[in-house]
Amino acid sequence: MGAILKQRVGLLAVLLCWLPLAAEAALPDLRVGTTGDYPPFSFIESQTGQYLGSDIDQARALATVLHRQVVFVPTTWGTLAADMAAGRFDIAMGGISVNARRATQGLFTAAYLQDGKTPVVRCDEVAKFQSVEQINRQDVRLIVNPGGTNERFAREHLARTNLRIFADNVTIFDEIIENRADVMVTDAIEARLQQRLRPGLCAVHPEQPFDRTAKAYWLPAGSSLLPAVQRWLAGSLRRGEADARLQHWLAYDWRPAIEQTGAVRQLLRLIDERLALMPDVARYKWNTGGAIEDLPREQALLRSVREQAVQRGLDADAVARFFAAQIEASKVVQRELFAAWQVAGQGKFDGAIDLTTQIRPKLDQLNPRLLDALAAVRLPVAASALPELAFAASSQVAAGVSVAPLLR
């Protein structure tokens, strides 16, 4: 009897030892919302899908302390607050600036960096854009990414400029280099980094920005994680871990990743642009009673892109599969629109654009650009992944939604 009792006590001890591990394993993932477009804090590689950056490393360190698995949840600057309010993630990380509006929508940790807005311009024009007054002119082509503090600063302080909202925060600086824009006003830390990565681009007095803002981590209102995150962050700052991670990624050579990601996003924009023409195609065919499918033209297009693929040293079969997917996605858009118009009893459209003289020339101009973009993103990857995505995107176009975010 004593032996049995000892066995049971031993078994109970083993089970009690396992209880903390079982409880730990049951903890939910730490869901980190991040934009993936803001080196050195957060960046997603287009080829691997891996997240890189100082706040990415910080997120992994935080998850370890909390005994959780980290899961990165993609978001955008424009949807960051709404995504957090919808409960899509537990904490937002990735170079997020503290401001009063965000403070009313969630909880900020202590700041881990002080920063501010400063201009980025072509180096030969630094003297022209030293002050807000010099920038805030009608003849200045200001460019900013949408939805974040850069756009907010522009609208509040630079309202007189010729403002352009550019959706891609990764390739936006190329617009300045290529003289399609004059200036961007962004965080000083990003201005310094882009100056190092892009010859010909200069940060204007980043040591004396136009304003002063802090960067911190952002949690939903009422989050029970805040005390634990605050304790971890205080230790990370005290031990120099946060600064060491930031310095590592500031010194990192981002150029290959940025160039490849820029090429992928260019391809997505072109796919978006091509499919966005399909409602006009559908309206023309609806008015004229034309068929959605035009097999002779489709075959001619595929023959043409095969020839152009060979000229570029690309796999003709892979290129043909890619363009066949774009054609099929285009027909899906038209079919869905036709079905909706039939239900609604739609009559002929006023002012429909002519297919032959206005729409097809645009499509013909897009094809070589798509081929060049395919070459830039390493065709086999694009050809294997994008046909299915094109089908998924087609219904979004029919509903009037941009394709590129869905494809990303």
Q: Which of the listed CATH numbers 3.40.190.10, 3.40.1390.10, 3.30.70.100, 3.40.50.920 matches domain 117-211?
A: 3.40.190.10
Q: How many C-beta atoms surround the C-beta of residue 9 within 10 A? A: 10
* In contact, 252 and 258? CB cutoff 8 Å: no
Which pLDDT score is estimated for 382? 47
Which pLDDT score is estimated for 408? 38
Which pLDDT score is estimated for 269? 81
Closest CA to 228 of 113, 112, 70, 109: 109
Kindly state the tokens that stand for 93: 């990380």
Mean residue pLDDT across the chain: 87
User: CA angle, 159 as apex, 149 and 142 as ends, to 5°?
Assistant: 70
Which pLDDT score is estimated for 263? 82
Q: Which ranges of the chain have pLDDT less than 70? A: 1-26, 47, 378-408
Which residues of the chain are in CATH 1.20.59.10 domains? Answer: 256-407
Burial class (CB in 10 A: 0-12, 13-18, 19+), 278: buried
Which residues of the chain are in CATH 3.40.190.10 domains? Answer: 29-112+215-252, 117-211
Q: Mention the CATH class of domain 256-407.
A: mainly alpha
Q: What is the pLDDT of residues 17-72, one digit of tens each?
A: 544 444 445 689 999 999 999 999 999 987 678 999 999 999 999 999 999 999 99
Which pLDDT score is estimated for 268? 80
Q: Mention the CATH class of domain 29-112+215-252.
A: alpha beta
